[in-house]
Structure 1
Amino acid sequence: MFAKDGDVKVTAEVQIAGSTSAKSQSWLWAWANSNWPDNVMIGAKRVRSFGETNSIDELTQTYVTDVDDDLEVLGWELSAVAVRICDALGAYRSPSAEGDARYYIIKGISWAG
């Protein structure tokens, strides 16, 4: 949900795509993170299945290494892939702490109220 002055204005149905880590300089797919419940990883699991079907290593490996030394770009690129595969509306990146961030795909959005 998105709020202004404490009032909820917009609600969104989201799925976690994955997260980036400055320490490991990599992306971790949500489907590989045991901290997330299954109901928020449906999209990420669909991405993994697509990767398996089409032999795309970056979609089936637990970690994707940041070879271009731009972790934020890696997060957005892989989130964009998830948006496309899952026919989502877009992506959202949570505020980061020291280079770590979570990336979500937006499946639905509506005005609150």
Structure 2
Amino acid sequence: MGFLDKLFGKNNTKNAEASTTTKEVPTPILTEEGLLEQYGGIALEKQLDFGELIGDNNWNVDMTAGTISFGDSLSFPLQVLGTFSHSSETWLWAWANQQSDLPDSIQQNALQLKKYGDDNDFGLLRNPRFDFSTNELHILGIIATGLCHADAYYIADYGQGAMLLTITDSRIKQVRHDIHDRVRVVFPQLISQFEIDHQNALRSYLRTKGYTIEETKTTLTATKDSDIIRAEFDDLSRLTNLQG
């Protein structure tokens, strides 16, 4: 997964605008591809910020305290989404893991995703256990970051398996580089790693960053203050040119 592998930790020892009278309710997105298109760009930006903050420090989790630490000086509150088994290649949601006896306080994001799955009959988020792969952990991490409004996700690999965590902390926001040129760094990586509609994904990404969008079937122009981004697509919505 390229740069995303940095956020796969190996343990060395262990919105739509509201009108003046009514608030528009967004239509739920019911596919993995649709959720990746909606949240992928901004989630990868957050991963870059988080990676810069934690550096190459090893991780350590304290379930009682509900924290994950990196090195001696960085500690963040965590939410456990679930665990992945390397041997069986299966995913198990935290709320379905009866043996772990996790505190309810660190399962809130997992339960929030379950509610989304229950409300919209979305199997990925409601089925307790299913076949999975390590690459799909990144997909689930991006979806969780978006739906739960988290600042990052982290894959804490402990040898026999891996925990998928979400992290929300103001220090991650403080290192955020919300700059114009970052789109040209993040978006090509997004579309190289996931099979999604490029035009839909770029539109969602730029709208999240506050750009005004004008587009045709094969072009997209985004404007924010004096910054302009132009993109061109082929007839299959694949990106052919991106300029800032």
Out of 121, 131, 136, the position equivalent to 1:74 is 136
Structure that is richer in strand per residue: 1
1:25 alignment counterpart: 89
Q: How many angstroms apart in 2 are the aligned matches of 1:103 and 1:52?
A: 21
TM-score normalised by structure 1 residue count: 0.80
1:92 alignment counterpart: 154
1:41 alignment counterpart: 107
Q: How many angstroms apart in 1 are the aligned matches of 2:128 and 2:91?
A: 8
Deviations 1:69-93 (A, max 9, x none): xx21122211221111100011011
1:13 alignment counterpart: 77
Q: Which moved more, 1:31-40 or 1:41-50?
A: 31-40
- When residues 84 and 64 of structure 1 are mapped into structure 2, their CA distance, relative to the original with a 3 A threshold, is farther
Q: Does 1:102 align with 2:163?
A: yes
Q: How many angstroms apart in 1 are the aligned matches of 2:130 and 2:170?
A: 29
Q: Shift in Å at residue 11 of structure 1?
A: 2.3
Runs of 5+ consecutive residues of structure 2 not aligned to the other structure: 1-68, 173-244
Q: How many angstroms apart in 1 are the aligned matches of 2:152 and 2:84?
A: 18
The code of the aligned residue for 1:64 comes to F
Q: Shift in Å at residue 54 of structure 1?
A: 1.4
2:145 alignment counterpart: 83
Q: Does 1:58 align with 2:58?
A: no
Q: Shift in Å at residue 31 of structure 1?
A: 1.3
The code of the aligned residue for 2:83 comes to S
Q: How many angstroms apart in 1 are the aligned matches of 2:127 and 2:150?
A: 22
Checking the alignment, whether the CA contact within 8 Å between 1:14 and 1:108 is kept in structure 2 is no
Checking the alignment, whether the CA contact within 8 Å between 1:16 and 1:44 is kept in structure 2 is yes
Runs of 5+ consecutive residues of structure 1 not aligned to the other structure: none
Larger radius of gyration: 2
Q: How many angstroms apart in 2 are the aligned matches of 1:57 and 1:85?
A: 15
Higher RCO (CA-CA < 8 Å; seq separation 6+): 1
Q: How many angstroms apart in 2 are the aligned matches of 1:96 and 1:44?
A: 20
Identity %: 25
Q: Shift in Å at residue 24 of structure 1?
A: 2.2
Q: How many angstroms apart in 1 are the aligned matches of 2:170 and 2:155?
A: 16
Out of 59, 70, 75, the position equivalent to 1:2 is 70
Q: Shift in Å at residue 53 of structure 1?
A: 1.1
The code of the aligned residue for 1:108 comes to D
